[in-house]
Structure 1
């Protein structure tokens, strides 16, 4: 008979739904509290986020707003998205609080590091895009602008563009967490992941082609980190196998039973 999770208690469906509603309300409250504190600085936040593009605009050129309400709605939308990003630790904490009672002790020991790692890696992906990818991409776009064409980007179009890249790089940096989870729950093993490494590399470039603008620079800047993070996930998965006492995929466990019956000494 399988052991029940620690502190497991029967709860009716209504109680689960009530707890879920409470935790969702806490997430919404955290987002709006952060948004309320940032709303006064909405214009400055947009100025900061648009800096990677503005520094490569031709002399005398500026960003433009083609819609009447864009000067207000675009910074407003950006501030709301920033509030969601900043509230992510609170959101994930509420998710953890909802699912933790149903986990075993050994599951909680690995789930907490994965939860913290996912937050850090998501922010690392956004920082990587802002400080490294954006300057390279916008410098490339500015350098290939045809003669006689003035590069004047619409602020709403720019926001949609960078949000796509932020989410793409933020999710791409979650690859190690996904790999560790797949190994931990037994869907795949380290040997299989190493075997399909060439296909994973090709898949990284395909994902980079889909999620980034149609230029080789941004595609490569997304694909290469994804591949390196995949290798990091394999390494972390190997360490988890070692700590759990599982045999390494390169050889057999010395203490594993064999199919040959023991020889009988006369």
Structure 2
């Protein structure tokens, strides 16, 4: 109890300028790590370039480049994607360290569990997007081209941007449980509020699913089902977090 009072007094002593200074320091750390990972990714880029090319080859797609500088841009893009993906855990850790002084001891213990979980969910979502969703969507577009009897020329940059967008979207979708859990943990939202807003949230999730998928009923159903399941799982996790917070507050009062 005394430790929590001491913690709260320390928070009050921090000025706005000190908060900004700390935020700037954490941004500098994150950007520095990102730049280092960007340089290191130069050596692993040929491997990921081969993975992308093989995903196109299995569909019989012949990828082309149309500009002299396009090959260099592709290489740099793949390096940047690797660096950004590897920096995700660092970003999550820096966010946690920035808000840590404002959290009590019990909240810190639960929040620190979200750090690895959030990173794992993002990478699993990206993995799901690349190996499950991308093949479904590629099959749809290729079938449309074949039905229309069109001779399509596939650009490597467009193909890479397509795959990258899907991986990012599904990586972010799987962040939903961690995101809502964090908001519940710090008291921004509550389980009761999320349940009351469910009738508004579901149409928004449906609209989101329709936007990020092509006009294919099967693909839209897959994405909608995934988002709905993740939302309901998020509600269960938030309920557990709320129950633990209530129990901890009762123990503290006693």
Residues 6 and 103 of structure 1 are in contact (CA less than 8 Å); yes or no, is this contact kept in structure 2?
no
More helix by share: 2
- Superposition map of 1:32-51 within 5 A: 32-51=35-54
- Dislocated runs of 4+, deviation >6 Å: none
Residues 64, 124 of structure 1: CA spacing in aligned structure 2 closer, same or farther, 3 A cutoff?
same
- Superposition map of 1:86-101 within 5 A: 86-101=86-101
Deviation at 1:69, TM superposition (A): 1.2
Residues 164 and 211 of structure 1 are in contact (CA less than 8 Å); yes or no, is this contact kept in structure 2?
no
Residues 195, 130 of structure 1: CA spacing in aligned structure 2 closer, same or farther, 3 A cutoff?
same
2:7 paired residue number: 5
Residues 7, 97 of structure 1: CA spacing in aligned structure 2 closer, same or farther, 3 A cutoff?
farther
Please tell me whether Structure 1 or Structure 2 has the larger radius of gyration of its CA atoms: 1
- Superposition map of 1:112-191 within 5 A: 112-146=112-146, 148-186=149-187, 188-191=189-192
Residues 63 and 153 of structure 1 are in contact (CA less than 8 Å); yes or no, is this contact kept in structure 2?
yes
- Superposition map of 1:223-238 within 5 A: 223-238=224-239
Residues 169-219 of structure 1, C-alpha deviations (whole Å, 9 max, x = no match): 111111112332444455554455445545444332210111233333433
Deviation at 1:31, TM superposition (A): 1.3
2:252 paired residue number: none
Residues 42-81 of structure 1, C-alpha deviations (whole Å, 9 max, x = no match): 2432231343333112xxx510112321111012112112
Residues 178, 14 of structure 1: CA spacing in aligned structure 2 closer, same or farther, 3 A cutoff?
closer
Superposition TM-score, scaled by structure 1 size: 0.79
For structure 2, the 5+ residue unaligned runs are 248-254
Residues 187, 232 of structure 1: CA spacing in aligned structure 2 closer, same or farther, 3 A cutoff?
same
Moved more, 191-200 or 102-111: 191-200
Alpha-carbon RMSD: 2.6
Alignment partners' CA distance in 1, 2:95 and 2:241: 24
1:71 paired residue number: 71
For structure 1, the 5+ residue unaligned runs are 247-266
Superposition TM-score, scaled by structure 2 size: 0.82
Deviation at 1:138, TM superposition (A): 1.3
Q: How many residues align?
A: 242
